[in-house]
Amino acid sequence: MIAPLTLEQLQQRFGGELANGSVEFDRVCTDTRKLDADAIFVALVGESFDAHDFAADLEGKVLGLVVQRRIEGCTLPQWIVGDTTVALGQIGLLCREQFSGPVIAITGSCGKTTVKEMLAAIFGQRHTPCVTQGNLNNQFGVPMTLFGLGPEHDVLILEMGANGPDDIGYLCGIGRPRVTAVNNVKPAHVEGFGSVAGIAAAKGQIYTSLEPGSTAVINADDEFADYWLRNMPDDVETLRVGLGLDCAICAENIEVGGDGCPSFDLVIEGVAHPVQLRLMGEHNVHNALVAAGCAFASGIPAAEIASGLALAGSVAGRLQLLRGRAGETVIDDSYNANPGSVAAAIDLLAQRPGRKILVLGDMAELGADAEAMHRQMGELAAERGLDGLYTFGPLGAAAVEAFAAAAGGSAHGFSERSSLVAALENDLTEDTTVLVKGSRSARMEEVVRALTDTG
Ligand code: ATP
Ligand code: MG
């Protein structure tokens, strides 16, 4: 926090009741395993836990409580509210209001963390950014990031994720960003939104929530770009980025090197700045353009954007280049998967020299189209000329069938990771590249570990 807050201040602004007086604090905790004597404790309630069960034992261990029911027999100051998750966001909002620097927020189906890390690299050159840690992008993570704002920070970069139709609007009400972008819309997590159009509307709240004078960075290559532009609030600036030369910021002369990392000319206001990315995959050019748009809208000079993009490094589990035990190349993209990111991974793998094998764990949360989407991925893998497909999970069968029918190549489905690894190990040569990908629930990092573990 930039300055301390009091429970009384919160109660006066947001309502609720105070018990046992007020207290000043500048830290917040929600985990009883990580208590902090100088913090207040917010008792969150989840489906399978209720932190109120522990609240009575916190005397002497924290400064005060935020609770949904008064904890009797406890002398700690308490702010009693209707919903402690909402209260967490309200505390976050007050922290946000203490900050006067640029505030950027990114949402989208995939690449949010990548864009956020690119922005951290760009700003990190000459500024001290406060950035979402890891993937803390929801109704708990965004307030946590805001609590971390300190007097040393001069820019705030927020990742925002959506599981439901109103999540982004809610998060914007807390983070109050001034420069925002939807990185892209792909059929990820269709469940909960109804359709891809439903996802576009939900993510579009990052634009419709903008206050006058803010800037909307639009990925002009996304099929919903015009939809967002049509629904833009008055007095919001728009900045279009994309491959088209009509965009304010675009990329020209894109080339993908032998290591899979693209280079391109970043063209800002008609001036080209060469960029060599350290991240693999052509889709990272799109991510770089969105990051460049957000940085430019926040006042960073073009040359500094280009040099920052070149510094952004890869993150564990996201297209990380590793060496396997048989001397093969392993690309670890096990962090997560949806049809958009699998298609991007197939394109990347297709550009590698030598034999190319895709190892795909089931993509989760795709709703009624799940099987069809797995079939499409099998077809695409065949179309791009991959040499083999190994799948893990029941939905993989559809991909295997499609791949075998289209390519006649070797495709195998497995219901256990260990048998997948055993079969794959007999199929490896030094000139093979294996790309491992799957939804979080498929835990494909275990396959990566088995392939690369030399201990
Ligand atoms: P999450 O919803 O889990 O927070 P995210 O949106 O933060 O994901 P990243 O963690 O940056 O996304 O990347 C996740 C996966 O998406 C990676 O496997 C990456 O290869 C892929 N990906 C990243 N950017 C794009 C893009 N622009 N188009 C397609 N796939 C992408
Ligand atoms: Mg993320």
Sheet of 410-414, strand order: 320-323, 329-333, 432-437, 355-361, 388-392, 410-414
Would you state the pLDDT for residue 388? 96
Please determine, for residue 77, whether its predicted confidence score (pLDDT) is greater than 90: yes
Which protein residue's CA is at the shortest distance from atom 29 of ligand 1? 341
Question: How far is ligand 1, taken at its centre, from the CA of residue 372, in Å?
Answer: 21
Nearest atom, ligand 1, residue 110 CA: 6
Please determine, for residue 198, whether its predicted confidence score (pLDDT) is greater than 90: no
Question: Ligand 1: which of 114, 199, 206, 223 to mutate, most ligand atoms within 8 Å of CB?
Answer: 114
Please determine, for residue 190, whether its predicted confidence score (pLDDT) is greater than 80: no
Q: What percent of the chain has pLDDT over 70?
A: 99
Question: How far is ligand 1, taken at its centre, from the CA of residue 115, in Å?
Answer: 9
Contacts of 387 (CB under 8 A, 6+ apart): 355, 356, 357, 409, 410
Nearest atom, ligand 1, residue 109 CA: 6
CA neighbor of 199 nearest in space, from 158, 159, 227: 227
Average per-residue pLDDT in the chain?
94
Phi then psi for residue 128, to 5 deg, are: -120, 90
Mean pLDDT, residues 92-117? 97
Question: pLDDT per residue over 207-217, tens digit each?
Answer: 999 999 999 99
Mean pLDDT, residues 165-194? 90
Q: Which residue has the tokens 């065949």?
A: 382
Banded pLDDT at 323 (limits 50, 70, 90): confident
Please determine, for residue 242, whether its predicted confidence score (pLDDT) is greater than 80: yes
Please determine, for residue 191, whether its predicted confidence score (pLDDT) is greater than 80: no
Banded pLDDT at 454 (limits 50, 70, 90): low
Nearest atom, ligand 1, residue 341 CA: 30
Banded pLDDT at 110 (limits 50, 70, 90): very high
Which protein residue's CA is at the shortest distance from atom 3 of ligand 1? 336
Would you state the pLDDT for residue 455? 59
Question: How far is ligand 1, taken at its centre, from the CA of residue 313, in Å?
Answer: 14
Rounded to whole angstroms, the Cα distance separating 296 from 355 reads 41
Neighbours of ion ligand 2 (CB under 5 A): 112-113, 135
CB under 6 Å to ligand 1: residues? 108, 110-114, 135, 137, 161, 184, 283, 286-287, 318-319, 333, 335-336, 340-341, 344
Question: pLDDT per residue over 292-307, tens digit each?
Answer: 999 999 999 999 999 9
Q: Dihedral of CA 173/174/177/181: which sign?
A: negative
Please determine, for residue 189, whether its predicted confidence score (pLDDT) is greater than 70: no
- In this prediction the pTM is 0.81
Nearest atom, ligand 1, residue 335 CA: 18
Question: pLDDT per residue over 329-367, tens digit each?
Answer: 999 999 999 999 999 999 989 988 899 999 999 999 999
Would you state the pLDDT for residue 352? 84
Mean pLDDT, residues 31-60? 93
Mean pLDDT, residues 380-404? 96
Question: pLDDT per residue over 376-388, tens digit each?
Answer: 999 999 999 999 9
Please determine, for residue 23, whether its predicted confidence score (pLDDT) is greater than 90: yes
Judged by average pLDDT, the poorest of 145-154, 250-259, 369-378 is 250-259
Would you state the pLDDT for residue 301? 96
Banded pLDDT at 311 (limits 50, 70, 90): confident
Please determine, for residue 416, whether its predicted confidence score (pLDDT) is greater than 80: yes
Banded pLDDT at 188 (limits 50, 70, 90): low
Q: Which residue has the tokens 């190892």?
A: 359
